[in-house]
Structure 1
Amino acid sequence: MRLILLTSLTMIAFAANSILNRVALADGDIDAVLFGVVRLLAGALMLAGLVAFQGRKLRLGGAGRLIGVTSLLIYIFGFSLAYQNLDAGLGALILFGMVQITMFAGALMGGERPAVQRWAGAILAFGGLIWLLWPGHADAPSLMHAGMMTVAGVGWGLYSLTGRASQDALGTSAANFVLAACAAVVCAAAMMFVAPNTNPIEVSGFGVAMAILSGAVTSGLGYALWYSVLPDLRGTTAAVAQLTVPIIAMAAGALILSEDLSLRLGIATLLVLGGVLLAVTSRR
């Protein structure tokens, strides 16, 4: 029962990232880029604090660090920029689908030979995303913002693939967040100096609070909690558990943000999550 509760809490935390980001941006309480910077800083402080609490030193070097930091930056800022327009549930579905497709592609490039069932699942999930994003229908989202979330999904997929080789998931994530936060602050400061915004958004305390909550709690503590329960979960169980994240995000988006749940979105959700379920339950 404890494992079920902790896993459920982790999935809620992951889905909450979409809600917090969308809530902060929907009414212009914070700029998308600033949200990403604050989220990285809060996550870095939380994860580094957890490493220090364990009496360990933070190692900023190591194999794959450049890829890890770069892919994390792509995910964080693609995610924030996409939620300037996308609904929380729709964004979570695109993100989750692209993460799984990216990891499937990474497995192929790594020499794995997936079974027919896994191929069928990947094709079904990808087809569901294409059908949802295809322009010309009433529910079609902004292709620019959907593209940003697609890029974010690829970034998170690459981050996950890189992290699979790590023997210290918490320490690796803490180092990645610290370096990514430093890079983000430097880049944001340079952008403000080179091209100052003539119409800046008035940042509210609420917007900053949502970014801190997303970085420190639903990202930092959420990832730490996920790493603590992963050893007790089978690989397929962990993958299937993550199928609940877009569903939670859609339900919360409808309740909190009054987002529409269209028939097309519902069918696309069944196709994408059904395809992923088919793929991750493959025996091979």
Structure 2
Amino acid sequence: MKATLYTIIALIAFAANSLFCRMALAQGYIDPWNFTIIRLLSGAACLGIIMGVYSYNLKRKGAFNREILNDRGSWRSSISLLVYALSFSIAYVELDTGTGALILFSAVQLTMIGWGIYQKEQLSKLQWAAFIVALGGFVYLMLPSAAVPSVLGASLMALSGVAWGIYSIRGKVCVSPLRTTGFNFVRSLVAVPILLLVGMSYIKTVSIEGILLACASGAIASGIGYSIWYVAMPLLKSTQAAVVQLCVPVLAAIAGVLFLSEQLTLEFIIASSLILGAVLVFILNKHKA
């Protein structure tokens, strides 16, 4: 039950992040470079404040836990986070929504399921069937809006998917999800001066709307959302964590209907039913090695 709750909240955060990115980048409110800079800065700032309050309360109550207080993330995770965030933003403006989603989530699936198989996570025949149905539903959902991608855009989006898969997998062994995520964001800030060298040339195109959307993406959807994802990851197998993320495009599309007045189509209803139903079957069917 705990794993289910945290996973659902994290997936909603991912969908919100997709919506924020679409509104900011697709509408041209901000460029990818400055969006990434603000996203990382706001995520680090938000989690820094939360960590400060949390640590203060622990010390005031005398509830010291050195293992938690010594958890400061890792450079490998922060690099994965940085590569994911920057590659995603740049690729997003190079690709249409359908193509980008197909490449991104295919890369995530290959990375995380591949790692799960490498770690001897065995799947039942029913789980394999459910995964194929979910993947088929996902392709059916995104393919109509897909187009032939540019080599640069496709490569960057694939890189983004692999980086996110690695970042997710590394969350399986974190001690404190909040501190791990917070310090991963803080560590990623070493790249900000380099990003600024490019971002400054686009500064005149940055709007207030773009800044606000980047802050929402960084502080809420990424900072808090990724912390919750790191709570869920140790409770999930890598294969489960991979498959449930196929729900994100569905949730993002629902958000688009609710908040952006996008059209609800029969194709979407069919695809969503296939994806959500197959993911549910996959999760409920537990295969023991």
Normalising by structure 1, we get a TM-score of 0.74
Q: Tell me which moved more, 172-181 or 269-278.
A: 269-278
How much has 1:72 moved relative to structure 2?
A: 1.0
Q: Which amino acid aligns with 2:196?
A: A
Structure 1 equivalent of residue 224 of structure 2:
221
Q: Does 1:257 align with 2:260?
A: yes
After superposition, the Cα gap between the structure-2 partners of 1:257 and 1:143, relative to the gap in structure 1 and judged at 3 Å, is farther
Which one-letter code corresponds to 2:76 in the other structure?
A: I
How many pairs align?
269
CA RMSD in angstroms comes to: 3.9
8 Å Cα contact 1:51-1:170 kept in structure 2: yes
What is the aligned partner in structure 2 of residue 187 from structure 1?
194
**1:164 aligned counterpart, secondary structure:** helix
| Residues 30 and 201 in structure 1, CA contact (< 8 A), matched pair in contact too | no
Q: Which runs of 5+ in 1 are unaligned?
A: none
Question: Partner residue of 1:19?
Answer: 19
- Name which of 62, 70, 73 aligns with 2:79: 70
Match of 1:174 in 2: 182
* Displacement after TM superposition at 1:266 (Å): 5.2
Name the SS for the 2:160 alignment partner: helix
Deviates more, 1:214-223 or 1:238-247: 238-247
> What letter corresponds to residue 27 of structure 1 in structure 2?
Q
Question: 2: distance between equivalents of 1:149 and 1:125?
Answer: 21
Question: What is aligned with 1:157?
Answer: 165
1:128-179 CA deviation, whole Å, 9 max, x = no partner?
A: 5556666xxx632452456644433322221111110112222111111111
Partner SS, residue 145 of structure 2? coil
**Distance (Å, rounded) in 1 between the aligned partners of 2:244 and 2:116:** 20
1:68-147 equivalences in 2 (<5 Å): 68-84=77-93, 85-87=95-97, 95=104, 98-128=107-137, 139-141=145-147, 143-144=149-150, 145=153
In the aligned structure 2, how far is the partner of 1:259 from the partner of 1:141? 20
- 1:45, 1:227 → 2: CA distance? 18
3-state SS of paired residue (2:28): coil
Q: Secondary structure at the match of 1:30?
A: coil
Q: Displacement of 1:244 after TM fit? A: 5.0
Residue by residue over 1:226-250, the C-alpha shift from the partner in whole angstroms, topping out at 9 and shown as x without a partner, is: 566x49x9749x9687665433310
Contact 1:139 1:262 in 2 (8 A): no
Whether the aligned pair in 2 keeps the contact of 1:122 and 1:276 (CA below 8 Å) is yes
3-state SS of 1:167 partner: coil
Deviations 1:179-216 (A, max 9, x none): 11222x13313446xxx85x765111111111011111
- In 1, the alpha carbon distance for the partners of 2:256 and 2:31 equals 20
Q: Does the 8 A contact of 1:97 with 1:129 survive in 2?
A: no
User: Which moves more between the two structures, 106-115 or 210-219?
Assistant: 106-115
Identity among equivalent pairs (%): 38
Task: Provide TM-score, normalisation by structure 2.
Answer: 0.73
After superposition, give the CA deviation of every residue in 1:244-269 in whole Å (9 maximum; x if it has no partner).
Answer: 54333102223433445565555554
Identify the structure with the greater helix proportion.
Answer: 2
Cα distance between partner residues in 2 of 1:261 and 1:146: 28
The alpha carbon displacement at 1:118 in A equals 2.7
SS of the residue corresponding to residue 29 of structure 2 reads coil
Q: Which residue is 1:54 aligned to?
A: 54
Contact 2:19 2:252 in 1 (8 A): yes
CA shift for structure 1 position 50? 1.9
Give secondary structure in 1 for the equivalent of 2:55: coil
